[in-house]
Structure formats: structure tokens, C-alpha cells
């Protein structure tokens, strides 16, 4: 695994972690509901994925997808990314950004298990050690967060929704790890995200409630940042990482997300940082740096 692939994946994970902060800011400053915000996010993202789809289809090495591959891409985009995003946005109404990221980052272990049990992909020693360190760290930080947030109304309901989000997203990640080598990272990402966007917009239109918040310039600004900084750019970076180093390694590297979100929540939202968070953060960083150190040695993981 090259250091460039590691860094691209790491930066993509950090950019993705800004999503929870932008969503919480949008809820706080505009009062927008989850579905409207998600629809705006995907609407502003859609032109970039349309361009990417067109460019990838015109390349000399373009791979024409079979009917079955089209079905898999659509299912992964809708049942994976769209459903997980919707559950996540609703859950963020009830829990803090830091706790959301901690629960959500159970998905790497789910993805690794899916790859192991469904696709026969082996988990090697470095991955096992890194996963153990990472999830011990997340568990410690999660326990500390519970002592602060458990009195919030609908706290456990929000936690459960984000737990479901982690499960659905793990299927997207594992499935993308199978599809990207066959059809290409850019093409898969573009069409899967377009399928996800279609699902969001169909649900939004069927709901039939068009909020006045759409006219707010503040909401538009937040939606554009969500679309570009926390969706389009990192989605292509992580797809590139999956293509180069595999979904198992991407799952482990993206465990830096909770660390990034906790720090952003502290400095931007004013959330407190407590001892359990610090301990858990150090363990997560250790697990992620193990992957980075391995890459500098020029060995395959």
C-alpha cells in the first residue's frame, strides 16, 4: 500500500467527518428537517456525479456494465448509501456529533466481517490488531459520552437509528469493494451516488411538504458545503482508496473519523472534551497510524 493511497484515504475520511458538524449547524441555525437537508445536499451533489458519469462512460477503457452489475450499483446506492444517510440525518437530531461518529464507526468491523463471511476475504494480523485497538478506543469514548448525553430526549432512539445506519453503510462499503475492481472507482461512485440521489428526491417529492427553509441563504450555504466538502470530494477519494488498497484497509483508516469529529465539535460547536474521549482518541490514532506505518514499509496489508 503506497503512502499516497493512505493519505488520500485519510484526507477523504476527515472530510467526510465534517458532515456531522455541518448537519448540526444547519439544524441549529435554520431549524430545517432532516429530509429537506438531505435532499438539498444530494441535489447540489448531483451535477458533479452526472459529469463524472459522463466522463467515465466516454473513456477508452470504459467497461460496459452488465444488467446484473447495474442492479448491484442501484441497490448499493439506494439501500446502502441513501438509506444510511437518511437514518444518519434523523439520528443527528437527537445525539451529539461526536457520539454520532462513534456509533457510526462500528461499520468498519461490520464491513470486515461481511467481507470475511460472504466473500471469503481473510483478515490478516495487522488488520486484527488495528481493529481491536480502534474499537476499544471507540468503546471507551462512547461510554464517556453516555454519561453526558443520555438525558437528552430521544437519545436512545437516535443512537439506534445511527446504529442501523452503520449496518446499512457497511453493506455499501463491502459491496463497493467488490464492484469497484470490476467497473472502476469513478464510474461506480458516480452511478451509485446518482441512485442514492434519486431515492432521496423521490422520497422528498412524495412527502409533499416543501419547507420555507429552502429559501434561506444560510441553509443554501450549508447545503453547498455538505455537497462539496462532505460528499462529492471525499466520496471519490475513498473510492480511489478502495480501488488501491481494498475495502478492509479503507474501513480501518477511516476510523480517524471520530477523532476528527470530536475535535471539530469542540472547536466549532462548543462540545466538551472529556477524559474518556482523550483515551479513546489515542487508541484510535494508534490503530490508524499502524496502517500508515505499514504503508511506508512498502508491504502489502
- Every domain of the chain and the residues it spans: 3-296
- pTM of this structure: 0.82
Name which of 1-5, 101-105, 118-122, 267-271 the model is least confident about: 118-122
Q: Note the pLDDT of residue 161.
A: 94
Q: Which residue has the higher pLDDT, 218 or 152?
A: 218
* pLDDT confidence band for 298 (50 / 70 / 90): very low
**What pLDDT is recorded for position 295?**
45
Grid cell in block for residue 32 = 430545517
Which grid coordinates belong to 130? 488495528
The pLDDT of residue 91? 94
Range of lowest pLDDT (29-38, 88-97, 140-149, 237-246): 140-149
- Checking if the pLDDT of 169 tops 80, the result is yes
When mean pLDDT is compared across 21-25, 126-130, 179-183, the lowest value belongs to 126-130
Report pLDDT digits (tens) over 196-221.
Answer: 999 999 998 887 666 555 568 899 99
Residue 159 reports pLDDT greater than 80: yes
Q: Are 243 and 185 in contact (CB under 8 A)?
A: yes
Amino acid at each position: 500500500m503506497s503512502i499516497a493511497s493512505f493519505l488520500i484515504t485519510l484526507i477523504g475520511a476527515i472530510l467526510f467527518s465534517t458532515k456531522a458538524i455541518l448537519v448540526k449547524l444547519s439544524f441549529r441555525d435554520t431549524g430545517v428537517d432532516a429530509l429537506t437537508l438531505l435532499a438539498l445536499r444530494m441535489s447540489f451533489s448531483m451535477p458533479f456525479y452526472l459529469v463524472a458519469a459522463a466522463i467515465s462512460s466516454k473513456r477508452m477503457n470504459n467497461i460496459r456494465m452488465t444488467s446484473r452489475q447495474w442492479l448491484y450499483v442501484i441497490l448499493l446506492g439506494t439501500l446502502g448509501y441513501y438509506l444510511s444517510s437518511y437514518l444518519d440525518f434523523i439520528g443527528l437530531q437527537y445525539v451529539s456529533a461526536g457520539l454520532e461518529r462513534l456509533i457510526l464507526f462500528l461499520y468498519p468491523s461490520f464491513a470486515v466481517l461481511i467481507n470475511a463471511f460472504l466473500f471469503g476475504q481473510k483478515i490478516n494480523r495487522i488488520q486484527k490488531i488495528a481493529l481491536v485497538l480502534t474499537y476499544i478506543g471507540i468503546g471507551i469514548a462512547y461510554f464517556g459520552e453516555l454519561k453526558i448525553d443520555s438525558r437528552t430526549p430521544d437519545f436512545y432512539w437516535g443512537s439506534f437509528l445511527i446504529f442501523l445506519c452503520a449496518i446499512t453503510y457497511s453493506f455499501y462499503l463491502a459491496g463497493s469493494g467488490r464492484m469497484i475492481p470490476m467497473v472502476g472507482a469513478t464510474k461506480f461512485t458516480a452511478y451509485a451516488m446518482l441512485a442514492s440521489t434519486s431515492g432521496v428526491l423521490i422520497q422528498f417529492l412524495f412527502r409533499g411538504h416543501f419547507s420555507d427553509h429552502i429559501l434561506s441563504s444560510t441553509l443554501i450555504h450549508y447545503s453547498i458545503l455538505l455537497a462539496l466538502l462532505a460528499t462529492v470530494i471525499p466520496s471519490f477519494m475513498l473510492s480511489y482508496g478502495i480501488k488501491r488498497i481494498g475495502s478492509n484497509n479503507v474501513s480501518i483508516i477511516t476510523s480517524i473519523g471520530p477523532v476528527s469529529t470530536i475535535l471539530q465539535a469542540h472547536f466549532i460547536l462548543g462540545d466538551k472534551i472529556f477524559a474518556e474521549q482523550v483515551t479513546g482518541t489515542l487508541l484510535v490514532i494508534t490503530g490508524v497510524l499502524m496502517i500508515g506505518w505499514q504503508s511506508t514499509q512498502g508491504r502489502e496489508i
